Structure 1
Amino acid sequence: MTQAYAGWQADAVTETSQPPVAPTSATTPVVILSDGVVTLRAHSVDDADAIVEQSSDPASLRWTTVPRPYSRADALGWIERNSAAWAEPGGTRSWAIEWTDGTGAARYGGTIDLRPGAAPSTGELGFGLHPDARGRGLMSRAVRLVVGHAFSTPVWGAPVGRIHWRAVVGNWGSRRAAWAAGFTFHGTIPGSHPDPEGGPLALDTWTASITPGDTLSARTPWLAPTEVTGERVRLRPWRPDDVDAIEPRDDPDHWMPSRSILRRETFAAWLLTRQERMSEGTAVDWCVADVETDRALGSVTLFSRVGPIGDTAELGYQLFPSARGRGAAKEAARLAVAHALAPASEGGLGVRRLVGETAADNEASNAVLRSAGFVPFGREHAVDRVAGGGWGDGLHWELLPDGATD
């Protein structure tokens, strides 16, 4: 599954029939689907060169198990098999994705297929885009067309009641197409896919599905860390090379959950988790960087513990030891708070209320919240196990903008 980007509303689906163009044995006519922007049609021998280009592209090689190297003969054989499968009662239903470029020319854009699942009532979706077709919202349209067709037609002799999607973890383009078409994400399946690059270990996959009656549009927001610049710090997206700036910490263990602490050895997994949360609409995570050097100083996040961020969000932050004591955390918190409270029409989250939690004895963290306008509203006694034995208290904070309680 190659990368695909989405974000369009579904239009009306039209269906007709067309005999496949590829020279094959007797086959069943391919059902053409169109929403006026993309058309799903039979694969043709005229697509062969573009299929070779797509299958030789670095993204296709990274995320799919296409033959390596991929030849024109591979493409022609694949076209032939796709066409013949339409005549099989339980065969895969494959379409070429066609789109119109800026010159008005119709172009091959990729492929999408619906494969039989564990029973005739289930299907599995697979797709990939040619490099020239990416970033245009085409794949989410194609997904909606196939899903709509499957739920209105007994594809394999029985009504289809669920369509599954799966992709190797990290294939954000494929995930975004499924997200935009209304799929519900179920989680990660460890060690469930062969490594396309031939590595000895199986890779993890994301899984999602959709059922009849589900809205064919995104169910949750896909949040992103918009860059914000202050006097001392800049909030920006994390980059892989930021791992080099991470410093060891010697804070008391009860000041922050261990899984949330930035460490070099776990940075890749830490970052993936936060990217997944942003794709689910449950968090926005920024790297706090020095405004002059752009070196990472720590992190700041807005998140929800109970699903996508709604009218309330929680503030979290951590700075590396060398970045403390110069107001960086306070400014980062204020910038994040401003983003949270700004209306969605202005690029913010439009939340009504912000909350936070700290260890009662973490004076530096408490000072950050006070500087951002938070006030304590509760104390939880004996909630944190402290070093040397005993228990410490936790504080609960909130920020309500003027007029929020009216």
Structure 2
Amino acid sequence: MTRAYAGWQADAVTDTSPPPTDHPTVTGPVTVLTDGVVTLRAHSVDDADAITEQSNDPESLRWTTVPRPYSREDALGWVEHNLAAWADPRATRSWAIEWTDETGAARYGGTIDLRPGAAPSAGELGFGLHPDARGRGLMSRAVRLVVGHAFSTPVWGAPVGRVHWRAVVGNWGSRRAAWAAGFTFHGTIPGGHPDPEGGPVALDTWTGSIAPGDPLSARTPWLAPPPVAGERVQLRPWRLADVEAIEPRDDPEHWMPPRSILRPETFAAWLLTRQERMSEGTAVDWCVADRETDRALGSVTLFSRGGPIGDTAELGYQFFPSARGRGAAKEAARLAVAHALAPVAEGGLGVRRLVGETAADNEASNAVLRSVGFVPFGREHAVDRVAGGGWGDGLHWELLPPGATD
């Protein structure tokens, strides 16, 4: 029969036919799901070689706790276990992901599990793709199929009202599949997962979930920093190797929020935070690099303090001491502003209004904003604690291009 959920259609078929005699025994009915592109079916001994390849793939080893090394015998035992679990009314439901390649051949693409949660009303997803199937949008399709099935079937004897997702922090492929399927991200759990490499320190995990009635599509945009070339500088994504270019700051501490300052010892965490914000649609962060040498000079960002960037975005920037006084900040700000104001159809953010905040005594930063068309619209008195005692004022700026108030 056909079941539809939130605009996505899944054909759910209960397959009770006996398996071939050379396959492990299926001891319970297997629910087959398909959207016409991806098919979720029972695992088969014929999948064993591909499962072994996937489980020994570096990306799989990086993010999962599969046996190391992983043998074909491991795969066969795992297939047997998954098939037998269909007979247990409280067990994990595990599907093989099947897709059709460019030659028209049906291929094993990976595995997706729906695992029992804290109660029959909750489930948890687990999934992984074979290297040949990655980058094709297959996993988000598989996730939608399983979630739609969970919310339309009492999988463990009761209606499922919440499906959870977790992944080790940094597993962007897993996060993107959950994002595309409509999951809401709830935050990071410190020390929530064993180190797949067997290290003594538990790893942080991202967590998210979805409920019946939630759309099975992305809830927020996933922003990215497109490369932008200027005359003297270029805007590009940050790289971990850029840590070598970071220089100590030599300006007053009240000019920059402490957590935003680029420092070698905190750069990895600083970059991760900005990548997370872009995945939530709340920021676009660029490395500003020298056009000729590609050496990092500083950063420029467009962000929102209250959810995904929409009508308004805020401009921020910081530059290393050796990059100042040569027009790099003004050019980078001009390039970022142009991207913010460009229509979405042209690859921009399509914002109507830009804002900014500076310390009133930061003349260099104020000059950057003036150079790209910002004007001050407010002053906060005694808002910044300054060195040596006392308080400094803060300025609020805005840029309204022609027609923004029409």
Shorter-chain TM-score bucket reads over 0.9
In 2, the alpha carbon distance for the partners of 1:338 and 1:26 equals: 59
Superposition deviation, residue 210 in structure 1: 0.2
The code of the aligned residue for 2:291 comes to V
Q: Could you say which residue in structure 1 is the equivalent of 2:164?
A: 164
**In the TM superposition, what whole-angstrom CA distance separates every residue of 1:76-123 from its partner, at most 9, and x where no partner exists?**
000000000000010000000000000000000000000000000000
The aligned residue for residue 224 of structure 1 is 224
The aligned residue for residue 5 of structure 1 is: none
Aligned to 2:87: 87
What is the distance in 1 between the residues matched to 2:89 and 2:404? 60
Q: Give the equivalent residue in structure 2 for 1:288.
A: 288
| 2-structure distance, mates of 1:329, 1:401 | 20
Taking the aligned partners of 1:331 and 1:190, their CA distance within structure 2 comes to: 39
CA apart distance, 1:237: 0.2
Q: Provide the residue aligned with 2:3 in structure 1.
A: none
| Aligned counterpart, 2:11 | 14
Matched, 1:256 2:253: no
CA distance in 2, matches of 1:104, 1:56: 26
In structure 2, what is the Cα distance between the partners aligned to 1:220 and 1:316?
22
User: Is the 1:10–1:144 Cα contact (8 Å) retained in structure 2?
Assistant: no
SS at match of 1:354: strand
**CA distance, structure 1, for counterparts of residue 263 and residue 128 of structure 2:** 35
Equivalent residue for 1:394? 394
Aligned to 2:64: 64
Distance in 2 of aligned mates of 1:27 and 1:379: 72
Partner residue, 1:31: 31
- Alignment map for 1:2-401 (pairs within 5 Å): 11-19=8-16, 23-25=23-25, 27-401=27-401
1:263–1:238 CA distance, 2 compared to 1 (3 A): same
**Long gaps (5+) in structure 2:** 1-5
Corresponding residue number in structure 1 for 2:404? 404
For the 8 Å contact 1:162–1:209, the answer to whether it is kept is: yes
Q: CA deviation at 1:403?
A: 1.0
Name the Cα RMSD after superposition. Answer: 1.1
Distance in 2, Cα, partners of 1:169 & 1:54: 21
Q: Which residue identity does 1:285 align to in structure 2?
A: D
Shift of 1:23: 3.8
Q: Which amino acid aligns with 1:231?
A: E
Letter in 2 for 1:175: R
Counterpart CA distance in 2 for 1:341 and 1:26 is 58
2:95–2:111 CA contact under 8 A, matched in 1 = yes
Query: Structure 1 380/17 Cα, relative in aligned 2: closer, same or farther at 3 Å?
Result: same
Q: Alpha-carbon deviations, 1:340-364, whole Å to 9, x = none? A: 0000000000000000000000000
Q: Distance in 1 between matches of 2:111 and 2:26?
A: 22
Cα distance, 1:18 vs. partner? 2.3
Q: Distance in 2 between matches of 1:82 and 1:236?
A: 45
Q: How far is the alpha carbon of 1:29 from its aligned partner?
A: 1.5
- Would the aligned equivalents of 2:354 and 2:398 in 1 still touch at CA under 8 Å? yes
Question: How many Å separate the matches in 2 of 1:355 and 1:110?
Answer: 46
Spell out, residue by residue over 1:106-146, the C-alpha distance to the aligned partner (whole angstroms, 9 max, x if none): 00000000000000000000000000000000000000000
Alpha-carbon distance in structure 2 between the residues aligned to 1:30 and 1:184: 29
Aligned partner letter, 1:71: S
Relative CO higher for 1 or 2, CA cutoff 8 Å, sep ≥ 6?
Answer: 1
* TM-score for the superposition, normalised by structure 2: 0.97
CA contact (8 A) 1:358 1:366 kept: yes
* Count of paired positions: 398
Distance in 2 between the 1:305 and 1:403 partners?
25
TM-score, normalised with respect to structure 1: 0.97
Contact 1:283/1:301 (<8 A) preserved: yes
For 1:367 and 1:37, locate their aligned partners in 2 and report how far apart those are by CA, in whole Å. 55
Q: Does structure 2 retain, via aligned residues, the 8 Å contact 1:18–1:42?
A: no
1:300 deviates by: 0.2
Gaps of 5+ in 1: 1-8
User: Distance in 2 between the 1:12 and 1:168 partners?
Assistant: 30
Question: For 1:200, what is the secondary structure of its paired residue?
Answer: coil
The residue identity in structure 2 corresponding to 1:60 is S
* Residues in 2 aligned to 1:367 and 1:321: alpha-carbon distance in whole angstroms: 16
Instruction: Report the AA paired with residue 317 of structure 1.
Output: Y
The amino acid across from 1:12 in the alignment is Q
Alignment partners' CA distance in 2, 1:298 and 1:383: 26
SS in structure 2 opposite 1:13?
strand
Q: Secondary structure at 2:310's aligned position in 1?
A: coil
SS in 1 for 2:9: coil
SS for the counterpart of 1:357 is strand
Determine if contact 1:10/1:35 at 8 Å carries over to the other structure.
Answer: no
